[in-house]
A and B are shown apart, each in its own frame.
Chain A
Amino acid sequence: MAMSAPDPQGDVRAALELGVKAATAYGRPDLVQRLNVTLERVRKPDVQVVAIGEFKQGKSSLVNAIVNVNICPVDDDIATAVHTIVRHGEERRAFALVKAANDPDGEGQRIAIPLDQIRAYATELGGIDPSVIVKGVEIEVPRKLLADGLILVDTPGVGGLSGAHAAAGMGAISVADALLFISDASQEYTRAEMDYLAQAMELCPGAVCVMTKTDLYPRWRDVLEINKGHLARLGLNLPILAVSSMLRMEAIRREDKELNAQSGFPALIQYISNDLIAGKARTNRLTAQRELYGVCDQLAGQFEAEKSALTDPAAGAALVAGLERAKTRAEALRGQAARWSTTLNDGVGDLTSDIDFDLRARMRAVMAESDSAIEAFDPLDSWDEFEPWLTNAVSQAVVANYRYLTERAATLSSDVAGHFGQEGQELFADLEIHNAANVLSRVSIDPHIEVEDLGRGAKGLSALRGSYSGFLMVGLLGSLPVLATVGAAIIPIQIGAGLILGRKTLKDEKERALQRRRSDAKNAVRRYSDEVQFQVGKDSRDTLRRVQRQLRDHYSARAEELNRSTSEALKSAQDAVRVAEADKSKRIKDVQAELDRIKNMRAQAERLTQSPTGQSAPARQAV
């Protein structure tokens, strides 16, 4: 375990640090900041893996077995009630995310709890301070796999009677990098499970199926084959890994390699460390490379311009003129009137009202269905069943609304990126000087990189990550107000009453009481719906504001950089034109040296994706 492995991300960090040094030396704090952000991402590549599935399928056991520690509570009967986040820490510690029971809308708190209290906080068992509501549990354990960036999230199972419905876990899923869909080997997939999986994958497409408890079922291979068939028929191309958490824990206890192999865990661990963690590292590596290319090009621009003005004074004048025009355009790119900025501001405005309308339409449909359902039953008899139906329907509506928001925000982001890229391109459209234009046009590669990065979908928008999660993850869906009048004015129907009272009066009274219960129920539903719309509406407006701010900040910074690079290039070219003939050859030599230095930096960035270790990190096993 303690064996010191060579740091696979060392070269990326070294290249980025060199870039920071260079940008500092050339007096470009804007570029320094940009590289630092990337550096931070490489240092801490959080990979969130969320275990989902129906209740009592062995999710907590699986999480325990992956990190080899008995820390998520496991029980035959009592199920996990809140999200449990397992991450790296220097020592074992546990925290509970709680809110005051009398102020459910207030700020949450993160309080340290003793390890032996995890069970009380994380399961349906309860038995903790009733003045707080537990929203989640965080556990820190020192483990290599976790130190590499893995964050495991154990979720309450869906499908049971108590609380957790399919939509409740969607918040955690929407911020996940990958899902582990868990179902035990006792039987093939059910329709409810497949519906849930499909829904989850719309929010997080990276998923792998895990079949647990293979130790218990001699025919698990048959079940595996049947399940593969089900997945294929549904068009889901997912691998299924068969594991036994019990065997794995036993293998670790006995330090038995063979038993560990039988548990099926090596394949799962390999998937997590090779495909997920290393995959994330690869993505980060590519990002780092792109950022470095961009920085090199921007830095090189000024020296290329100076060099070309120094070597050919006639062309130098034209170059200065061209750069002046480019500078004016770059300045315009910074302002409010820039096309990308208009696109962004108008887009967010449209989006806010569209999202709001979408939510209203969906909620109205749920309400209509709910009203007609209430007309058809007696709330006294069926309220207990109706309530889960309603909360589920409402959370489905909220999730659908959230997906709509995600899609639209991604489209907006790529529109903005498109406009910015186009304008950046036009900056240099009429620069005809061959060498400078070549070099400078590379500056405009930069916006394209951003198009790729931010435009490739919702995942690039960090502002979207975690939106609604405040709402969904902690299950703020709240609860329906209890029907106060239930139980009042009930006449036992068959206990001979029909013969005591006149048939008609009894019937009328029953009818009146039923109508009253129904209208009470409808009112309760309406209050609930208003509350949900208010909360979700606020959440989505906040999210959109965050998206707007993120995009604005990002492109403003890029515009600022372009502006600065163009200014520097212009200044260098102007200076070069004025340089005395005697100093020229010395200056050309200096400029060439700077260019060579930048070229070296670029070459180092290029190597990031060529070294064999850069392509795939060596498989590591936690045992």
Chain B
Amino acid sequence: MSEHLIAGTTELLDGAERAFAGAPGAEALAEARRRLHEPLRVAIAGKVKAGKSTLLNALVGERLAPTDTGECTKIVTWYRDGHTYQVILHPRDGSAPVQVRFEREDGAVEVDLGGRDPVSVDHLDITWPSSNLRKITLIDTPGVDTLSEGVAEKAYEFLDPKDTETPADAVLYLMKHIHASDMRLLEAFHDEAVSQPNPVNAIAVLSRADEIGGGRVDSMASARKIAARLARDSRLRRLVQVVIPVAGLLAESAETLTEREFKLLTELATMSRSELETYLLSADRFIQGTPGMPLTSLEREELLGRLGIYGIRQSLALVRSKTVHSSVELSRELVSRSGLTDLQTILTTLFVDRAAVLKCRSALLAVERLCEQNPDHPGAAGLRLQIEQIMAMAHPFNELATLAAIRTGRIKAREQDLLDLERTLGANGTTPWQRLGLKQDTPADQIRTAAYESIARWQRLAENPLSPHELSQAARIGIRSLEELAVSLG
């Protein structure tokens, strides 16, 4: 299915290159073609100090992006897989990219800008051999809403450039709470005619989730409730697929937990819980401690800086209850409790499994924009018709478009019908059991039965004379998805 799509898109690009050879802006086509064969590009965006670099490190599983108490990331930085370690700097004035030196400070890649003003740098391109970057290229962006001059606009420019399409295929949007300026940035990512406001390629992350509940033991549960409520908010639903809580700092530290840190935690766990809680009332008290408290003040400060109050509480509870016995076990457990595991799963089902569709979508956008810029070019009309045909015939696109239509409130029906229809269209993942809302290991014959039942249900809805036209259309797309699903089961 996705092979057809890629073939169709490649053919379109061939045609566009022939038609627009030598025309202004045609170099975008070569770029679009290159993108088609690269890993999916996922941008990490959000307000200043939302924890973007921290989450990026957690996803890579290595401390690459520098993080600090103050605002840190001021340049758009690409992290992609490659054979060698290198950093290429792309100046803003359009002059040739240059390779620059870097060093690793405390693990993080500190790039030597060679005396350049960060504002004069368009972006940095870091190549880093890493298995986690093989399927997706991650792009770190500066925070919006910053007080630093010249930095605030960069994220907007990146997600919503004036004369080309955005270089990202999908976006992970980080927020502490949903703020009005979060909405503005998210919208900047959705404005093309092909997509319409389109939640299919964006995921919202409630980052720093452990802080919402003030580091209490039930902080993550509280954050999950908030995420669930936000995910139902109509304004957010039209911009993102899901909202996931992640304790970013804990996730990063858990992924990179050292044997030494585990030893320190074990030592700390010798204190009784009630005694420890009086220190954990505040960060200052925990660091200062009292004579006789395990570890030095410096060691405690280091641990707190890595894990946060919530992370310390969780780690000590795990160690004390003998749930974990080694740094590896603790690391795994903390990764799961930080919400990172959930995020990784969602990333796979919603982005990686759909990479072909998302990438082709980006390519179609590029061609469409070129046609728009040269409306009188002889080839433009034909190319536009071709785009429309690909969009109409490629079922994954119809799925995405219908999903978007439901999300943006264009299709009216009973809420339950809409939710089920979204699921059928792959909103929760594209495997048969996910589309049908079944358990993971459901036997094939049960899946088949469920699929036929579901087809019958949507048929009734589609043919009901009282159903609005748009709903009937959407139900038919759902039926098509289920038919393809049934065929794949054999």
Q: How far is the CA of A275 from the CA of B370 in the complex (A)?
A: 64
- Which residues of A lie under 8 Å from residue B197 when comparing CB positions? 381-382
When C-beta atoms are compared, the residue in chain B nearest to A392 turns out to be: B180
Do A226 and B70 touch (CB < 8 A)? yes
Interface core residue of B49, B146, B177, B211 (most chain A CB under 10 Å) = B177
When C-beta atoms are compared, the residue in chain B nearest to A246 turns out to be: B214
Number of interface residues of B (CB under 8 A): 68
User: What is the minimal beta-carbon distance from B223 to any residue of chain A, in angstroms?
Assistant: 8
Interface flags, A42-78, vs B, CB<8A=1, else 0: 0000000000001110000000000000000000110
Do B405 and A214 touch (CB < 8 A)? no
Q: Which label, helix, strand, loop or mixed, suits the secondary structure of the A interface?
A: loop
Asked whether any CB of chain B lies closer than 8 Å to the CB of A186, the reply is yes
Q: How far is the CA of A77 from the CA of B227 in the complex (A)?
A: 10
Do A494 and B281 touch (CB < 8 A)? no
When C-beta atoms are compared, the residue in chain B nearest to A498 turns out to be: B388
- Which residues of A lie under 8 Å from residue B409 when comparing CB positions? 487
Q: How far is the CA of A226 from the CA of B176 in the complex (A)?
A: 20
**Residues 212-235 (chain B) with a chain A CB within 8 angstroms:** 212-215, 219, 222-223, 225-226, 229, 233-235
- Which residues of B lie under 8 Å from residue A357 when comparing CB positions? none
Do B147 and A220 touch (CB < 8 A)? no
Do A159 and B470 touch (CB < 8 A)? no
The interface stretch among A188-196, A437-445, A611-619 is A188-196
Do A190 and B48 touch (CB < 8 A)? yes
Asked whether any CB of chain B lies closer than 8 Å to the CB of A520, the reply is no
When C-beta atoms are compared, the residue in chain B nearest to A216 turns out to be: B215
When C-beta atoms are compared, the residue in chain B nearest to A380 turns out to be: B410
Asked whether any CB of chain A lies closer than 8 Å to the CB of B309, the reply is yes
- Among B283, B285, B473, the residue within 8 A (CB) of A497 is B473
Q: How far is the CA of A382 from the CA of B411 in the complex (A)?
A: 16
**Residues 273-312 (chain B) with a chain A CB within 8 angstroms:** 281-287, 301, 304-305, 309
When C-beta atoms are compared, the residue in chain A nearest to B282 turns out to be: A215
Q: How far is the CA of A247 from the CA of B283 in the complex (A)?
A: 11
Interface core residue of B183, B184, B225, B392 (most chain A CB under 10 Å) = B392
Q: How far is the CA of A382 from the CA of B183 in the complex (A)?
A: 11
Asked whether any CB of chain B lies closer than 8 Å to the CB of A484, the reply is no
**Residues 23-72 (chain B) with a chain A CB within 8 angstroms:** 47-49, 69-71
Do A495 and B177 touch (CB < 8 A)? no
Q: How far is the CA of A385 from the CA of B408 in the complex (A)?
A: 13
Do A192 and B145 touch (CB < 8 A)? yes
Q: How far is the CA of A278 from the CA of B92 in the complex (A)?
A: 57
- Which residues of B lie under 8 Å from residue A384 when comparing CB positions? 234-235, 238
- Which residues of A lie under 8 Å from residue B238 when comparing CB positions? 384
Asked whether any CB of chain B lies closer than 8 Å to the CB of A511, the reply is no
User: What is the minimal beta-carbon distance from B199 to any residue of chain A, in angstroms?
Assistant: 12
- With A159-B180, A186-B176, A215-B281 known to touch, is A494 a contact of B401 (CB < 8 Å)? yes
Q: How far is the CA of A494 from the CA of B397 in the complex (A)?
A: 9
- Among B49, B281, B388, B477, the residue within 8 A (CB) of A247 is B281
User: What is the minimal beta-carbon distance from A373 to any residue of chain B, in angstroms?
Assistant: 13
- Among B213, B226, B283, the residue within 8 A (CB) of A217 is B283
When C-beta atoms are compared, the residue in chain B nearest to A166 turns out to be: B180
Interface core residue of A220, A495, A496 (most chain B CB under 10 Å) = A495
- Which residues of B lie under 8 Å from residue A191 when comparing CB positions? 145-147, 152
Do A186 and B281 touch (CB < 8 A)? no
Q: How far is the CA of A354 from the CA of B166 in the complex (A)?
A: 48
**Residues 76-91 (chain A) with a chain B CB within 8 angstroms:** 76-77
Do B301 and A218 touch (CB < 8 A)? yes
- Which residues of B lie under 8 Å from residue A214 when comparing CB positions? 282-284
Asked whether any CB of chain B lies closer than 8 Å to the CB of A213, the reply is yes
The 7 closest A-B pairs by CB, nearest first: A215-B282, A187-B49, A494-B401, A218-B283, A222-B69, A219-B69, A190-B145
Known A215-B283, A498-B388; 14 more pairs at CB < 8 Å: A76-B212, A76-B214, A161-B235, A191-B146, A215-B214, A247-B282, A487-B409, A490-B410, A492-B402, A492-B469, A493-B401, A494-B398, A495-B474, A499-B389
Query: Can you name 12 A-B pairs with beta carbons within 8 Å?
Result: A160-B179, A161-B233, A191-B145, A192-B145, A216-B282, A382-B187, A487-B412, A492-B410, A492-B411, A494-B392, A496-B392, A499-B388
**Residue positions of B touching A, CB distance < 8 A:** 47-49, 69-71, 145-147, 152, 176-181, 183-184, 187, 196-197, 208, 211-215, 219, 222-223, 225-226, 229, 233-236, 238, 281-287, 301, 304-305, 309, 388-389, 391-392, 397-398, 401-402, 405, 408-412, 469-470, 473-474, 477
